[in-house]
Amino acid sequence: MASNTRAIPGPGDQLTAQSLPISQNIVDGVRSDDCAVRLEATTKLRRLLTRNPQNTIQSIIRCSILPSLIGMLSAEDIPLMRCSASILLEVTASSSEEIQAVADEGAIPKLVSLFSSDSDEAKDYALSLLGNISGDCLPLRNAVMEAGGFALFLDVLENPGKYTHHIMDVAVHALAFCTRLDSGGPFSDNIVSGTRALAIKILTFLFQTNQMISVLAKFIQSKENEPTSSVENALLALGRIVLTEASTCVAIKTGITPQLVQLASPASSWPLQHHALRCLAVLTLHGLDGIDSVIEAGGLETFGLAITSTHFENRSVGCSAAHCVLDGTPAQVKSLIASSIVPALAQVICNEEYPEIRDQAILALTTLSGKARGDEELHLMVEAGSIEAFCAILEPSDYRNSLFGLQGIMVIINQDWEGQKEVVERLKTAGGVTRLRAIRDGVARQHQMIGDMAQRTLKKYFPESSQPARV
């Protein structure tokens, strides 16, 4: 869908011959009652659309032949339907104004009716056009839903024996397209809050969403041994519609989590791996049950691998998921500390790659150090390289990271536990003493707080290095 929309000419606009490339013969032919004449005219129109798409689309609307083209959406004349539908696909792949114009002329119920024909080609065009229309904005998505369009998508996926593999691919692609985040959610624009209509729309949306989750999960599970582009689209749609704690529970009950872990592993191809990883991360976002489901399926190790992967997007998703688990129960946080996520975060911080991801990792590791309790958890944090990571971000010129680094070090070293001496040695080996002195002596006056933190740490654990530098 193009984001830059083109204005449709108004009745008073002056159009040149170049901006109106459709001849009167074609216009009259499209409106003709003679099937052969209509087929010839629409064929010429389709060729014209291929050569000059932008002006032709605007001219189709200005010449008011959209109703005629939509009227041809019937399985009674497949060649004519094919020609008309291919033209409408181009129109609904352009701007929002033009998609709305197609819907305003009654295309949605016509397409739902077209799907009921015995022709696979007719079903293909019906699903594709409904996907284009519903993916444009929330009002059109609601219109397609209310007309039964979403029910068609779901019927195809629920009954694979009734439809060809191609039709199933088209249906799942349409679902992925119409669940795009930028097309709005149930509380988005054009809905007046506090009305009965709003309540009905929300309940309808939630019912359809829960049904979609179940159907998509079942479809993905049925393709376990044959990952295809349709599975990628199903994962894409699933990750977009799990929006609440209730919908997370619906997803968990389908038993999809272990398969998501499998699909999110490095053995999977891109973007299949990424879409599965996003679905796992979404499960950790809404409620403790989702986090438990991911932990039990081994998802934390998958996030750890993602954080150190070569794909920027996977690194970001892995870090985001770690933050979600940090908000979980003490038992869930303990599982996080024992996972490969902690060494992965430390590695990202020390490597200094991808500044945005590094910032996420720093925040996650600092927060995690504050939640570690007892010798076992603290030992896991230290063995994972967290002290070395915190040392790596002690820079007088970077107040934010230096503050996080100092907080992380002080939380671990100040606790009364058996590994305290090891922490001191690790700090020394990692150049921590030199960095602490640099922080103490080099921070700007307005950031003197961290200078004082550095000096207290030096004085307590490295008294021989706590004296001010000689001038």
The whole-angstrom separation of Cα 303 and Cα 326 is: 13
To the nearest 10 degrees (0 to 180), the angle between helices 420-429 and 432-442 is: 70
CA dist 430 → 280, 408, 412, 436 (Å): 35, 15, 16, 11
Asked if 243 and 209 touch (Cβ cutoff 8 Å), the reply is yes
**CA dihedral in degrees (226, 227, 229, 235; nearest 10)?**
130
Tens-level pLDDT at each residue, the chain (471 residues):
333 333 333 333 434 334 457 899 999 999 999 999 999 999 999 999 998 888 899 999 999 999 999 999 999 999 999 999 999 999 999 899 999 999 999 999 999 999 999 999 999 999 999 999 999 988 898 899 899 999 999 999 999 889 999 999 999 999 898 887 544 433 233 333 344 454 445 444 556 788 899 999 999 998 877 767 899 999 999 998 898 898 999 999 999 999 999 999 988 988 899 999 999 999 999 889 999 999 999 999 999 999 999 899 999 999 999 999 999 999 999 999 999 999 999 999 998 777 889 999 999 999 999 999 899 999 999 999 999 999 999 998 899 999 999 999 999 999 989 999 999 999 999 999 999 999 999 877 778 899 999 999 999 999 998 887 654
pLDDT recorded at residue 1: 39
State the residue for tokens 């004349």.
Answer: 77
Closest listed residue to residue 307, CA positions, set 322, 324, 288, 289: 322
Give me 40's structure tokens: 């010839």
The whole-angstrom separation of Cα 155 and Cα 163 is: 10
Peptide bond into 355 cis (omega under 30): no
Task: Kindly report the pTM of this predicted structure.
Answer: 0.82
The whole-angstrom separation of Cα 461 and Cα 425 is: 10
Q: Determine whether 371 is exposed, middle or buried from the number of CB atoms within 10 Å of its CB (0-12, 13-18, 19+).
A: middle
Length of the chain: 471
> Helical H runs in 185-311?
196-222, 229-241, 245-253, 257-263, 272-285, 288-296, 299-307
The whole-angstrom separation of Cα 366 and Cα 241 is: 31
pLDDT recorded at residue 21: 72
Q: What are 322-326's contacts with CB under 8 Å, separation 24+?
A: 322/364, 322/368, 323/360, 323/363, 323/364, 323/367, 324/281, 324/284, 324/285, 324/291, 325/284, 325/291, 325/294, 325/295, 325/300, 326/364, 326/367, 326/368, 326/371
Other CB atoms within 10 Å distance of the CB of residue 355: 8
The whole-angstrom separation of Cα 97 and Cα 61 is: 10
Asked if 288 and 324 touch (Cβ cutoff 8 Å), the reply is no
pLDDT recorded at residue 209: 83
State the amino acid at position 420 in one-letter form. Q
Query: Is the sign of the CA dihedral 424, 428, 429, 430 positive or negative?
Result: positive
> What letter does residue 13 receive in the DSSP assignment?
-
CA dist 227 → 127, 167, 222, 262, 329 (Å): 22, 17, 10, 11, 35
pLDDT recorded at residue 447: 82
Which residues, at least 6 apart from 66, have a Cβ–Cβ distance to it below 8 Å? 60, 91, 101, 102, 105
Closest listed residue to residue 288, CA positions, set 262, 257, 315, 326: 326
Q: Determine whether 42 is exposed, middle or buried from the number of CB atoms within 10 Å of its CB (0-12, 13-18, 19+).
A: buried
The whole-angstrom separation of Cα 198 and Cα 192 is: 7
The whole-angstrom separation of Cα 76 and Cα 119 is: 10
* CA distance between the termini of the chain: 65
pLDDT recorded at residue 208: 74
